[in-house]
Structure 1
Amino acid sequence: MAAETVRSPSELIGGTDERGLAAAGLACLDRCLPLLAPDGAEVLRPVWAAIARADAAAWGEAVAKVRVELDGAGGEAAGDGGVVTMVRAMADGIPADWAEAPLRAWAERCSAAALAVHRVHDVTEDGPLHAGELRRQLAVLDAVAHGPTGLRRARELSVEGGRVLRAVVSRRARTA
């Protein structure tokens, strides 16, 4: 039996529909958002709901609300490796339109940014934190490929990933 080839997030994003693209991008942002806004996960709930309904109007309203609520969140911390800037770009880049092209571009940028954020906080360039983020991204893309039923799993993976990243950052801050 031949070994299964592991696909990259970029390859999987290439074959995903609007709902999956929105969920993939939002999941990356959701995992990293605590570095910008510690209570930011709650801000994203209406956006997750809009994805579940695949409702373009609700999406646009929820995105506008997120922008207002995150305006000014998270100042740049010295020595953070540009992490806050990367997370801010993910949040600011959420497309207002529920359309394949802007959602695909945003999902790809979020994937790359989330991997970079995890790499900055990892013990080595491609260490366990980065590897865990890559696994979560692939799992989210796999879950959303199953339609709306996969959104719950995508959200669970995001919550778990956010907790892991917060714990690592907190631990490093205590030992610094």
Structure 2
Amino acid sequence: MSLVELLAQADERGLTAAGLACLDRCVPLLGGGDEVLRPLWVSLVEDGAEWGERIDWLRESLGAGGPDDPPGGAPGSVDGADPATGEAAALARRMLAAVPAEWSADALREWAGICSAAALRIHRLLDSADGPADGPAGGPADGTGGNRTGDDRTGEDRTGEASPLVAAELRRQETVLVLLAGHGAAGVRQALDVSTEGRRVLRAVVSRRARARV
């Protein structure tokens, strides 16, 4: 089953996990610690309990605004490291700003689509070990194309296969949705493990790019 189909069939918990896992993997771009999203993961297990309050706390802790605020820098973010990393950080901030205050299927589905497209775009931007990535290879530059996830899946590289970094991100997105569809709340722990692995990979990529520019 494709990523688009998995998103279309997911319930509130699955959609929340999908968006949250994408955001969690991109925390290194926001200057946040590994545990900064833990309250939202707890809310996910508790059927959205205190979701809005925990989002407000998260945005305050990361210095991010809400959906109606213009994008800005987050304390400790990696803007300025190189153009690709700066654009990736801006996409991650937009993912955070777009988190819906309402724990509802419609709002969460839109957010999950935004996060999916943005996370794939981020990994595409950073998929150069020795320095800034080449120009964009399809997909919306602002990461707001929530319904264009399929375009990102088939358009990572219009001349061949998706790069290893992007392909791995796509697999993680699909795995999270499959886990939640098959196990419900019991799959959250495994989804978090998948996200943690991806976060470590992205953190290493960001560090490598920063070292390459020294």
TM-score scaled to structure 1, two decimals?
Answer: 0.89
Q: Match of 2:39?
A: 46
Q: Distance in 2 between matches of 1:166 and 1:55?
A: 28
Higher RCO, 1 vs 2 (CA within 8 Å, ≥6 residues apart): 1
Q: Hey, what's the Cα distance between the residues in 1 that align with 2:2 and 2:212? A: 34
Q: Is residue 90 from structure 1 mapped to residue 80 from structure 2 by the alignment?
A: no
Task: Indicate whether 1:32 and 2:26 are aligned.
Answer: yes
CA distance in 1, matches of 2:29, 2:44: 23
1-structure distance, mates of 2:93, 2:48:
25
The amino acid of 1:110's aligned partner reads C
Runs of 4 or more, structure 1, over 3 Å off, are none
Distance 1:175 1:55, change over 3 A: closer
What residue is the counterpart of 2:200 in the other structure?
163
CA distance in 1, matches of 2:120, 2:164: 12
Amino acid paired to 2:12: E
Q: Retained in 2: the 8 A contact 1:20–1:141? A: yes
* Whole-angstrom CA distance in 2 between matches of 1:111 and 1:8: 13
Equivalences for residues 38-117 of structure 1 within 5 A = 38-39=32-33, 41-56=34-49, 58-71=50-63, 72-73=74-75, 74=77, 76-77=79-80, 78-80=82-84, 82-117=87-122
What's 1:18 paired with?
12
Give how far 1:130 is off.
0.4
Is 1:44–1:66's contact at 8 Å kept on the other side of the alignment? yes
Residue 75 of structure 1 deviates from its aligned partner by 5.9
What SS does structure 1 have at the residue aligned with 2:84? Answer: coil
Whole-angstrom CA distance in 1 between matches of 2:8 and 2:100: 17
In proportion to residue count, which structure has more helix?
Answer: 1
The C-alpha deviation readout for 1:9-35, integer Å capped at 9, x for no partner, is 222111000011111100000001111
Equivalent pair of 1:21/1:107 in contact (CA under 8 Å): yes
Tell me by how many angstroms 1:159 deviates.
0.5
What is the one-letter code of the residue matched to 1:12?
L
Q: Which amino acid aligns with 2:6?
A: L
Distance of 1:12 and 1:75 partners within structure 2: 32
CA offsets, 1:90-142, max 9 Å, x none? 01111010111010000000000000000011148531100100010011111
- The answer (yes or no) to whether the contact 1:119–1:130 under 8 Å persists in 2 is yes
Aligned partners of 2:210 and 2:58: how far apart in 1? 28
Query: How high is the sequence identity, in percent, across the aligned residues?
Result: 49
Q: Which runs of 5+ in 1 are unaligned?
A: 1-6
Q: Is the 8 A contact 2:88 2:126 kept in 1?
A: no
